[in-house]
Amino acid sequence: MNGDESGESNPEPEEFIALEDFTGSGAEQLSFAVGDRILIHDQSCADWWWAEVEGRYGYVPSGYLHHPDAEVEDGWQDEEYFGSYGTLKLHLEMLSDRPRTETYRQVILSNSTALRGKVVMDLGCGTGIISLFCGRLAEPAAVYAVEASAVAEHTERLVKLNGCEGVVTLFKSRAEELNLPSKVDVLVSEWMGNCLLFEFMVESVLCVRDRWLKEGGMMWPSSATLSLVPCQADDDYSQKVEFWENLYGLDYSCLQPVAQEEFFSKPKFSHQLKPEDCLSTPCDVITLDMHTVKVSDLEKLRGEFQFTVERRGTLHGFSAWFSTFFQSLDEGGPTLELNTGPHSEPTHWKQTLFMLDAPIPVEEGDCVGGAIILHRNPVWRRHMSITIEWRKKSRNEAAFSEVKSKRFPMWR
């Protein structure tokens, strides 16, 4: 080991930023938290570097660190992001999603009386569908439709074609750079990404809320929940891992750990979880109140779960999805819900699957407890990693197993 605690072997230590929490094991490893500034004295080998954090010295895993000079000009990757929304492909996918689009239509329709004379902002309006619902199904004083991507060129024409030019005004701008004639009564947006937060468009929504929503104004959605369930995923496991056991009479099993790493170290978007693959009743792990949540709260969100297994099976992993809720403008009016879970009509988000490294047999009555932690990437602001911690207790055991944990980057 490099015991040179003065750092003299390298007169100019370099500063890195931690991308993740790290809990060192043993005396020679340094623990640190996401966002910490870490001085590297010696890049001893590729994976482990000799480092200093606030006067403490030890080895740190280099993969958890980011060099500020490697700082991308734009951690938001806005060019790529808005570029992808500039053509029809993604809008076709979102508009074809009936449960999604119909929920927003119902929200406008069921609040049409209360919307009379109100000022509405539709943030990230895309082709303008929600703004057009407002213009056609209600009588708001004005709708400010905000869209930063090139699709806005078409939105303008759609507004005219549908006779809404008197009420809908299009702002071809990034929401953060808006200049509006007035504050708004209602801020509506369809900002949800995979596992609720991916893309972090929600940050734009919260910035706009703080700048442009009137005191006491309404957010649609008004709240959002992330749900989780322990699940079986036989097909994924057999097609990606068991597959390598025996190929044409040959032993390929040494590739199983490689396959495990290659296919299951990241979450699987667009997983269609069958209700019968749920091993328990789902649990709401994280809830955001859209009227009060702060941007800084998004850096790290943690939710706990406690599941009782409802049938014998194999625990391959966990599946996550979100629901959003739309409060009524009328006191006591109905709250509408868009639920993207396995027990609701499928949406384009489907569910997200997190595969564990090894299947765990479970019996009815077993307990699976733990936590899920969403860590926003401090450099790549539209990305996050998700850590799942779990432990199991069989129905006739008194104590839980030791806690296991797996971190899933999404995507960085």
SS (H, E, C) 104-127: HHHHHHHCCCCCCCCEEEEECCCC
The residue behind tokens 């004005």 is: 142
Which of 6-14, 19-27, 197-205, 282-290 is the region at the interface with ligand GJV (rule: CB under 6 A)?
Answer: 197-205
d(C-alpha 338, C-alpha 352), whole Å:
17
d(C-alpha 406, C-alpha 236), whole Å:
18
Among positions 115, 175, 336, 362, the unique one binding ligand GJV when judged by CB under 6 A: 175
Shortest distance, position 76 Cβ to ligand GJV, whole Å: 9
- Tell me whether strands 119-123 and 142-146 are parallel, antiparallel or unpaired: parallel
Shortest distance, position 365 Cβ to ligand GJV, whole Å: 39
Give the number of residues in contact with ligand GJV, rule: CB under 6 A. 19
What's the CA dihedral at 104, 109, 113, 118 to 10 degrees? 30
Among positions 7, 58, 126, 303, the unique one binding ligand GJV when judged by CB under 6 A: 126
Strand order across the beta sheet in which 119-123 lies? 168-171, 142-146, 119-123, 184-189, 213-220
48 vs 76, which CB is nearer to ligand GJV? 76
Amino acid code (one letter) for 314 = T
Q: Mark 333-372 with x for binding to ligand GJV (rule: CB under 6 A) and - for no binding.
A: ----------------------------------------
73 given a catalytic annotation: no
156 given a catalytic annotation: no
Q: Name the strand (E) or helix (H) holding 56.
A: strand 56-61
Q: Mark 47-86 with x for binding to ligand GJV (rule: CB under 6 A) and - for no binding.
A: -----------------------------------x--x-
132 binds ligand GJV (CB under 6 A): no
199 binds ligand GJV (CB under 6 A): yes
Shortest distance, position 282 Cβ to ligand GJV, whole Å: 22
Footprint of ligand GJV on 139-168 (CB under 6 A): 146-149, 151
Q: Comparing C-alpha atoms, which of 225, 222, 226 is closest to residue 291? A: 222
38 vs 151, which CB is nearer to ligand GJV? 151
Question: Token pair of 195, please?
Answer: 């596992």
Question: Token pair of 142, please?
Answer: 């004005």
Contact 241, 259 (CB under 8 A): yes
Name the residue whose CB lies closest to ligand GJV.
Answer: 124
d(C-alpha 202, C-alpha 193), whole Å:
9
196 binds ligand GJV (CB under 6 A): no
d(C-alpha 361, C-alpha 371), whole Å:
20
Which of 193-201, 218-226, 257-265, 368-376 is the region at the interface with ligand GJV (rule: CB under 6 A)?
Answer: 193-201
20 vs 147, which CB is nearer to ligand GJV? 147
204 binds ligand GJV (CB under 6 A): yes
Amino acid code (one letter) for 357 = D
Which residues of this protein are in contact with ligand GJV, per CB under 6 A?
Answer: 82, 85, 124, 126, 146-149, 151, 174-176, 190-193, 199, 201, 204
Active site residues: 190, 199
